[in-house]
Amino acid sequence: MSLEGTLEKLLKRIKIERPFGIFLSGGLDSSLLSYLYRPDIAFTTFVEQENCNELEWAEMITNDLEIPLVIIELNKKLFKKELPKMVRIMKCGFENLGNFPAYMLCKIASEKRIKRIITGDGADELFGGYTRYLIQKHIWELYKVPELKNYYPLLDKLNILRGIPKERTIIGMGMCERENLSQDVRMKKQFADYFKIKLISPFLNPDVIKFAGRLPDNCKIKNWTTKIILRELGKKYFPRKYQKRKDKIGMWSPTAKWLGLKEFDNEKYAQYLKRYHNRLQQKRHN
């Protein structure tokens, strides 16, 4: 059996009681899970801003599967309205710019009385999904260039994974990312618990994690293409147009910008949310 066939078998072994939904960004991971599990309903977020959403792809997948798609439009007014409640629920993950979409997805799923939701968490870390992994992978390739021999000290400074064999680069980076993933999952779970939703993350199943840990790097990233094994499995399911895409945006909203901060200033965003949380706590005690 092929490696993608083995992965498919492991994922399909996971049984989910109906009815259940999926948080569908339109990206590779959640789209693949949509085909494998055929959810009863899908939820996605949308920001009315050019090139800042994957709604086109989410609609393509749900139309192909003939399942309803709930589109949640995110905007500054809604963010400001929901911010007090969202921050009151949060106990971790203040620095995560993705917390508003996660909050709204759980809120709307609860209103639709969907109590079990699939997420694509873990796929990027386990199967080499982040484009930043390409940088580290190709740093190793530079060591093979004879003309760069005198520049090994510079490459050593760029190499953040010294001590990890080059053929395990993607595994090493995935392990480094697991702490951030755990925080992201905990944050989503806080919202899910509040709205009485059970989150199901097939890629974080112990058997899938074990399988991913045994995969060589060239089954995860090849040349400049990420998540090779998931793309190979996707060829069995995805429409032809979808198979050719390589871009990724995810469920995104410019929450920092809506607060008057630099759009990707995570540190200041985290500080703002923590101060906001503390003010709410103090006000509550008073």
What is the C-alpha to C-alpha distance for residues 142 and 120, in angstroms, rounded to an integer? 33
CB 86 within 8 A of CB 100: yes
DSSP 91: S
The bridge status of strand 198-200 relative to strand 41-47 is unpaired
Residue partners of 219: CB distance under 8 A and separation at least 6: 3, 228, 229
Task: Give SS3 for 195.
Answer: coil
> How many CB atoms within 10 Å of residue 52?
13
Q: Which fold has domain 3-7+18-252?
A: Rossmann fold (3.40.50)
- For residue 117, the surrounding DSSP H or E stretch is strand 116-118
pTM of the full predicted structure?
0.83
Helical spans, DSSP H, in 90-227: 99-111, 123-127, 133-142, 152-158, 169-194, 206-214
pLDDT string in tens for the chain (286-residue length)? 799 999 999 999 999 999 999 999 888 999 999 999 999 999 999 888 756 678 889 999 999 999 999 999 999 999 999 998 998 898 766 666 678 999 999 999 999 999 999 999 988 888 876 666 666 666 667 777 888 778 677 766 666 555 555 555 555 555 556 555 667 788 889 999 999 999 999 999 999 999 988 888 778 877 778 888 999 999 999 988 786 666 666 777 888 888 887 766 667 777 878 888 788 777 777 6
